[in-house]
Amino acid sequence: MWFEDIPLGNKITLGSYAFTEENIIAFAKKYDPQPFHVDKDAAARSPYGGLIASGWHTSSVWMKLVIAYRHGRIAKGEEATQANFVSPGVREIRWLKPVRPGMIVTYTNEPFAKLDWPSLPQYGLIEGKNEAFDQDGTLVYSFINRVLIARKPIP
Amino acid sequence: MTDLLHFEDFRVGQIFALGTHTLAPEEMIDYAREFDPQPQHLDPAAAKDLLGGLAASGWYLCALAMRMMVDGLFIRSTSLGAPGVDEVQWRRPVRAGDSLRVDGEVLDMRDSSRPERGFVRFRFSMWRPKENGEDERVMMFTCSVMFGRRNLSAGAA
C-alpha cells in the first residue's frame, strides 16, 4: 500500500484489548511504577480510588493492535507486505478516563490528512484520529498519529 | 511526608536531570515483542535496510523515559499522573548500545479546577552524545503533570 492508496475519512476498528489487574501491574512495574499503577492498596487510598493503567500502557496497546490488524490483512491477502511504517511522532495524546482492571477497550483509527514531508520527498505524511472506547461506549483515550508512507514510484 | 515535592516547589525554567541509561538490545526487543512487533524493532537484517540498524520502538522510548521520570522525580513527589501529552517527537532512530540521558524542563505552571492540585507543564527530552561531544535530542514530549499542593494537603488551609 502506497501513500496515494490510503483513503481519508475511512474509520476502521483496529481491535480490542482486555485490561486486567495482572497486565496493568506487569506493565507499570517495568515502565511506570507509580503507586496508583502498581499497588492495589495504595491505589485504593489515592484520588483514583483503585488501580488504573499507566497511560503509556493504553498507548502501547494501540500500537500492538495496529500491528495485529496489519498482520491480519496481510494474512488475508488484503495488504501486501512492504517496507514498514515510520513515525516522526504523535500529537494530542488524551488519557480522558482512567482505564481500570476489567475494562475491554476497543480502538479505532481514521486517516484525516495527507501532508508533504519535505526532508523525505519520497514519503508522504498521513495524520489519523485515534479513539478508544470502553465496553459501555465511553471514550477513554484519543490521540493523533502521524506516519510516513512511501509514495508510489514514478515509472 | 513533608519531603515530597509539591506543586509549590516547582519553578518555571527548572531543569531536572533524570539519569542516564545505556540501551540493551534485550529491553527494546522485550517491549517490541509484546507491543510493537515490526521488523525494524525485532529483526536486525530488516532494520538495516530501513533505518540503518535495529531501532527502538518510539513507544518504548516513551516508556523508558517514563520509568526514568518516575525513578528520578515523580516517586519523591505528589504526582497524580498526567491527563495527556501535547506532542511526542521521535527525532532520531535510537539503537542498542546508545547512551541516553533524560531531563525535564518546567515550561509553565497553572491552577487546576481542584484547589488541592496544580499543573506543571514539562518538556521531557531524551539526549544522546554526538561524535563532536555535543548532545542531540533524540526524543521529546511535552506534558502537564498534576501535583498536590502543599498548603491544602498539609491542612494549612
Judging contacts by C-beta atoms under 8 Å, the chain A residues touching residue B90 are 87-89
- What pLDDT does A83 receive? 57
pLDDT tens-digit readout, B76-105 = 999 999 999 999 999 999 998 999 999 999
Q: Angle at which helices A55-75 and B58-72 pack, to 10 degrees?
A: 170
Three-class SS of B36-75: CCCHHHHCHHHHHHHHCCCECCHHHHHHHHHHHHHHHCHH
Q: Do A92 and B87 touch (CB under 8 A)?
A: yes
Q: Determine contact: A119 vs chain B, CB below 8 A.
A: no
- The interface pTM score, or ipTM, of the predicted complex is 0.94
Q: Strand, coil or helix: what is B78?
A: coil
- What pLDDT does B157 receive? 38
Judging contacts by C-beta atoms under 8 Å, the chain A residues touching residue B57 are 63
> For A39-43, B38-42, B153-157, which range has the lowest pLDDT when averaged over its residues?
B153-157
Beta-sheet strands, E only, within chain B = 15-22, 84-90, 99-111, 117-129, 135-148
- What b/e readout covers A12-30, taking b as 16+ CB neighbours within 10 angstroms? eebbebebeeebbbebbeb
DSSP character at residue B95: B
Average pLDDT over residues A101-128: 95
Judging contacts by C-beta atoms under 8 Å, the chain A residues touching residue B74 are 34
Judging contacts by C-beta atoms under 8 Å, the chain B residues touching residue A85 are 38
Distance CA(A147)–CA(A3), nearest Å, equals 10
Closest by Cβ to B66, choosing from A31, A85, A87: A31
pLDDT tens-digit readout, B38-55 = 888 888 777 776 667 788
| Residue among B27, B34, B43, B89 with most chain A CBs within 10 A, to mutate | B34
pLDDT tier, B156 (very low <50, low <70, confident <90, very high otherwise): very low
Say if residue B60's pLDDT is above 90.
yes
- Contact by Cβ (8 Å): B10, B74: no
What percent of chain A is predicted at pLDDT more than 90?
A: 80
User: By C-alpha distance, which of B60, B157, B53, B72 is closest to B122?
Assistant: B72
For residue B20 the three cell numbers come to 542516564
